[in-house]
Amino acid sequence: MGRSVVPSSTKPVDAYRAQVPVDRRPAMARLRELARRTLPGFDEWMECGIPRDRRDNANGLAFASRVRHVSI
């Protein structure tokens, strides 16, 4: 159907990022870099096919590649 949504079965975050369309990878990399820098002590994980950062079961940030945009 021409969609570029990454399947929700993708794991872990690196595998997810590898399937993101090439033109969105810089934005996704920047979001990941900002999350790592501004959320110390948070761990990366996947839930419902979306990369997230969490600490003590609390979400810090989630971001995903969608059909026409990157969502935060």
In whole angstroms, what is the distance from residue 17 CA to residue 24 CA?
A: 9
Task: Evaluate whether residue 59 is within a structural domain.
Answer: yes
Task: Evaluate whether residue 41 is within a structural domain.
Answer: yes
Least confident of 1-5, 12-16, 30-34: 1-5
Task: Evaluate whether residue 8 is within a structural domain.
Answer: no
Q: Give the number of domains in the chain.
A: 1
Could you tell me the two tokens for 64?
Answer: 């995903």
Task: Evaluate whether residue 4 is within a structural domain.
Answer: no
**Average pLDDT estimate for 27-56:** 88
Is the pTM above the cut of 0.85?
no
Predicted confidence (pLDDT) at residue 10 exceeds the cutoff of 60: no
Domain that holds residue 47: 13-71
In whole angstroms, what is the distance from residue 55 CA to residue 51 CA?
A: 14
Task: Evaluate whether residue 31 is within a structural domain.
Answer: yes
> In 3D, which of 61, 42, 53, 49 has the Cα closest to residue 19?
49
Written as one letter, the residue type at 59 is N
